[in-house]
Chains A and B, each alone.
Chain A
Amino acid sequence: MTKILLASASALVLGTAASAQVVGFSQIGSESGWRAAETTVTQQEAEARGIDLQFSDAQQKQENQIAAVRSFVAQGVDAILLAPVVATGWDAVLEEAKEAEIPVVLLDRMVDSDPSLYLTAVGSDLVHEGEVAGQWLAEQVGEEPCRVVELQGTTGSSPAIDRAQGFRNGIEGHANIEIVQSQTGDFTRAQGKTVMEAFLQAENGGADICALYAHNDDMAVGAIQAIKEAGLKPGEDILVVSIDAVPDIFQAMAAGEANATVELTPNMAGPAFDALQAYWDNGTEPEKFIQTESKLYTQADDPQGEYDRRKGLGY
């Protein structure tokens, strides 16, 4: 009897040990609230799937990331998640992982290496995010003439370039929608507010502005305050659409002061783990790029509930 119990117990231990996959995750660092949320969600997703996640914070340094990946290879993990801080210089370490037959999945950012060196990359399409925002506005205003002011991201950054292009694609063919002012707000609240004040002055105290498009939510939150201080109602007098879906914009939407946001999901790990599971189970090679959904949230999508769900993620 004791023998049987012991045997079954050891089988149980062996069983769990065999099924618990070990995945190494090399994160860039905690550069922004979004990235903190990405880390939290990755840990949650791993826990939900019973995956043992080895987390390594690179503090924005590539050499730390390369060292982390090497140590994951040495440990013989089952897979590596990598959010690369820069695009270049990964060939050698990715080849080492390939030789050790450890699949590498890139999260959020791309590398310049040969696609055969990694299993797949999970990321969002920045142009598509802008398109979703533009299409929402085009639908919203219909045939009414609409003068749009745009708060751009940091000049020259890829999100600023792509989200600007995407929005223009989204409103293409709608001659009634015109971007009349466009300036950089550096992705910050304070600059968003400052630049919006100038826009309001330039556009007849804001009376000529029909909508605001901000490249991220933080700038929109700042701009909303500027609109309120100018005596106008954000969300009604001036429509507000932005990108990222951070908790504070849902608070603004719940108060009726913002209209829509396009989500840059922090859940890059979910699709990555799904792809890895299929690969482990029967060797299925996923597509080389898995695009995450750019989901549109409006005031009708329970903004208060979304705020409550997100505020604990570390944004």
Chain B
Amino acid sequence: MNGTGLLRRVAPQLLTLAAVLALVTVFFPSFLSVGLSGDRLVGSPIDVLKRGAPVALLAIGMTLVIATRGIDLSVGAIMAICGASAAFAVDQGWSLGVAVLLALGAGLLCGLWNGFLVAVLGIQPIVATLILMVAGRGIAQLITEGQILTFSDAGFAFLGSGAVLGLPVPAWAWILAGIVVGLVVRRTALGLLIESVGVNLRASRLAGVNSTVLLLTVYMISGLCAALAGLIVTGDIRGADANNAGLWLELDAILAVAIGGTSLLGGRFSILASLIGAMIIQSINTGILLAGFPPEFNLVIKAILVLLILMLQSPRLGDVAAGLLARRRRADETGAAPRPVQEAGR
């Protein structure tokens, strides 16, 4: 996809993001202001980039999984497992490098498990990943022994709340991960192969695509992204909360992919659009907190905004709108021709 093609692909998401930002700015005028505090940027847009990191990271992996016509419900639980593993490692006095490797390894292993169930055993993805979604929190609780496992390792905390060149580390993490994965799938044939598996698994297999390895790979990438997200949320609160880390985030990640315009039926996908989708969701979340509504309204407001966004993107509503526009144009061109017909109809 060249530059203008890419821009055309993500234009609806960019417009939606702009609309959400404008809406929040109406309720909270200084929403878009960014300042400098010490050597780091502060302000609501920076909070959005930082707080949106877990969902954005999950959305990268989720986009690839969904493109193969799959779904990964276990990413929230994988976050909890990986966060708990890393916290356990630093709590044992092991070095940060070991802790990070342990977490990433755990993420890969979880992804391999999901991929094995889907690609080798042929279990439907929603059922296969549901297993780890349910069991994963239990595994994480076993690692933390049911407590919030706290630590004071400055390096680990830096992963969650540090800043490089003014920008929070979590923001760097999802931006860089997005660029790397995006380049890998689009500068090679990998993206095309993923799409072909999603469109028609049997045809791709007959055409010589090794779908088993491909499916294993996408679930492992998803696990790896979840591991990064788990490291970030754990570093952020300097503690592994097995009960709550990543809770329900798999649903936000799926939503980000859907807002990004990738069909849940598999096939064509756009990581960039999913990432913008994640930022749209986070802007809504942060905006609701800033707007000062009573907390009882949070979920309803979010649901209404998401519904509006999805309605605007609905192809059928788009057809209706296009039809209405065309009709009006026709009416303008031929004078008031349709009107007498309508009146006659009464």
| Chain A residues at the B interface, C-beta cutoff of 8 Å | 30, 33, 36, 152, 155-156, 181-184, 186, 188-191, 193-195, 197-199, 201-202, 205, 218, 221-222, 225, 229-231, 248, 314-315
Q: Which of A201, A225, A230 contacts B237 (CB 8 A)?
A: A225
Interface contact B289-A198, CB-CB below 8 Å? yes
Looking at A33, A188, A314, the one whose CB has the most chain B CB atoms below 10 A away is A188
B264 CB, min distance to chain A CBs, angstroms: 28
Q: Is B47 an interface residue (CB 8 A)?
A: yes
What CA separation (Å) do A230 and B40 show in the bound complex?
A: 10
Interface contact B245-A230, CB-CB below 8 Å? no
Within 8 A of A (CB), among B237-267: 237-239, 241, 244-245
B69 CB, min distance to chain A CBs, angstroms: 32
| A198-B286, A198-B289, A225-B161 given; A190·B241 CB < 8 A | yes
Interface contact B42-A205, CB-CB below 8 Å? yes
Interface contact B161-A190, CB-CB below 8 Å? no
What CA separation (Å) do A248 and B37 show in the bound complex?
A: 28
A68 CB, min distance to chain B CBs, angstroms: 21
A5 CB, min distance to chain B CBs, angstroms: 48
Within 8 A of A (CB), among B137-156: 146-148, 150
Q: List 27 A-B contacts (CB under 8 A).
A: A30-B146, A33-B147, A36-B146, A152-B295, A155-B298, A156-B296, A183-B298, A184-B298, A188-B244, A189-B148, A189-B237, A190-B233, A190-B236, A190-B241, A190-B244, A197-B47, A198-B289, A198-B290, A201-B30, A201-B44, A201-B47, A205-B35, A218-B148, A229-B161, A230-B37, A231-B37, A315-B147
Within 8 A of A (CB), among B78-103: none
Interface contact A189-B161, CB-CB below 8 Å? no
| A189-B239, A190-B233, A205-B42 given; A181·B47 CB < 8 A | no
A281 CB, min distance to chain B CBs, angstroms: 38
What CA separation (Å) do A193 and B290 show in the bound complex?
A: 14
Interface contact B236-A193, CB-CB below 8 Å? yes
Majority SS at the chain B contact face: mixed
Q: Is B51 an interface residue (CB 8 A)?
A: yes
CB-defined contacts of A30 to chain B, threshold 8 Å:
146
Q: Which of B38, B51, B238, B295 contacts A182 (CB 8 A)?
A: B295
CB-defined contacts of A156 to chain B, threshold 8 Å:
296
Q: What count of chain B residues pass the 8 Å CB interface test? A: 31
**Across the two chains, which residue of chain B brings its CB closest to A183?**
B295
Within 8 A of A (CB), among B204-242: 233, 236-239, 241
CB-defined contacts of A225 to chain B, threshold 8 Å:
161, 236-238
Looking at B30, B38, B237, B286, the one whose CB has the most chain A CB atoms below 10 A away is B237
Q: Is B318 an interface residue (CB 8 A)?
A: no
Interface contact B290-A202, CB-CB below 8 Å? yes
Interface contact B47-A190, CB-CB below 8 Å? no
Q: Which of B28, B42, B245, B298 contacts A190 (CB 8 A)?
A: B245
Q: Is B323 an interface residue (CB 8 A)?
A: no
A257 CB, min distance to chain B CBs, angstroms: 13
**Across the two chains, which residue of chain A brings its CB closest to B147?**
A33
What CA separation (Å) do A188 and B236 show in the bound complex?
A: 13
What CA separation (Å) do A181 and B28 show in the bound complex?
A: 13
Q: Is B345 an interface residue (CB 8 A)?
A: no
CB-defined contacts of B295 to chain A, threshold 8 Å:
152, 155, 182-184
What CA separation (Å) do A315 and B147 show in the bound complex?
A: 7
Within 8 A of A (CB), among B277-304: 286, 289-290, 292, 294-296, 298
| A190-B241, A225-B238 given; A33·B290 CB < 8 A | no
CB-defined contacts of A315 to chain B, threshold 8 Å:
147
Interface contact A231-B38, CB-CB below 8 Å? yes
Majority SS at the chain A contact face: helix
Interface contact A33-B161, CB-CB below 8 Å? no
What CA separation (Å) do A190 and B237 show in the bound complex?
A: 6
What CA separation (Å) do A189 and B295 show in the bound complex?
A: 17
A151 CB, min distance to chain B CBs, angstroms: 10
CB-defined contacts of B290 to chain A, threshold 8 Å:
198, 201-202
What CA separation (Å) do A33 and B51 show in the bound complex?
A: 26
What CA separation (Å) do A190 and B233 show in the bound complex?
A: 8
Within 8 A of A (CB), among B12-53: 28, 30, 35, 37-38, 42-44, 47, 51
A141 CB, min distance to chain B CBs, angstroms: 22
A180 CB, min distance to chain B CBs, angstroms: 9
**Across the two chains, which residue of chain A brings its CB closest to B30?**
A201
Interface contact B241-A183, CB-CB below 8 Å? no
The 3 closest A-B CB pairs, nearest first, are: A198-B289, A184-B295, A189-B237
A154 CB, min distance to chain B CBs, angstroms: 9
CB-defined contacts of B146 to chain A, threshold 8 Å:
30, 33, 36
Q: Which of B28, B43, B147, B289 contacts A195 (CB 8 A)?
A: B289
**Across the two chains, which residue of chain A brings its CB closest to B150?**
A248
What CA separation (Å) do A152 and B293 show in the bound complex?
A: 13
Interface contact A188-B241, CB-CB below 8 Å? yes
Interface contact A230-B42, CB-CB below 8 Å? yes
A242 CB, min distance to chain B CBs, angstroms: 15
**Across the two chains, which residue of chain B brings its CB closest to A204?**
B30
What CA separation (Å) do A36 and B298 show in the bound complex?
A: 32
CB-defined contacts of B38 to chain A, threshold 8 Å:
231
A248 CB, min distance to chain B CBs, angstroms: 6
What CA separation (Å) do A197 and B161 show in the bound complex?
A: 12
CB-defined contacts of A230 to chain B, threshold 8 Å:
37, 42
**Across the two chains, which residue of chain B brings its CB closest to A156?**
B296
What CA separation (Å) do A169 and B296 show in the bound complex?
A: 21
